[in-house]
Amino acid sequence: MARSRTGRGKRSTEFQAPAQSSAVERARTRRRQARPVGEPKSQTGARRERRGGFRAFTSESVGELKKVEWPGRRQVTSATIVVIIACAVVGVFLYVADEAFSRLVRDVLLNI
């Protein structure tokens, strides 16, 4: 058996590559692996119980909204003022950038 520069011998003629499965079989295998087995479980690992649809959802939503700490009038007013000022600053910046780039394109690139 002749040796190559890497020090490895030639492959023997008895070597056989593993058989390739068809694309259809691989897709079926992937689908089977991705499916959950049995009933879905909650995050705690307990089995989920089916409860009454829209009525249960509404009552749970109302319960969650009662837990929310709603902002007062003063906090809403100050947050609104901050948003208006931020919008004005961004608007002025975009106006200045637009004017600068439009003059650059008109005077330098188009030579009008």
What is the tens place of the pLDDT at every residue in 35-63? 656 666 666 766 666 667 888 899 999 99
Owner of token pair 């000022």: 85
Question: How much is the pLDDT for 8?
Answer: 58
b or e along 96-111 (b: 16 or more beta carbons within 10 Å of the residue's beta carbon)? eeeeeeeeeeeeeeee
Q: How far apart are CA 94 and CA 101, in angstroms?
A: 10
| Sequence-distant (≥ 6) Cβ neighbours of residue 1 within 8 angstroms | 9, 10
Question: How much is the pLDDT for 9?
Answer: 57
Question: How much is the pLDDT for 80?
Answer: 97
Distances (CA, A) of 19 to 16, 25, 88: 9, 13, 66
Determine contact, residues 9/3, Cβ cutoff 8 Å.
Answer: yes
Regions of the chain short of the pLDDT cut 50:
none
Question: How much is the pLDDT for 90?
Answer: 98
* pTM value > 0.85: no
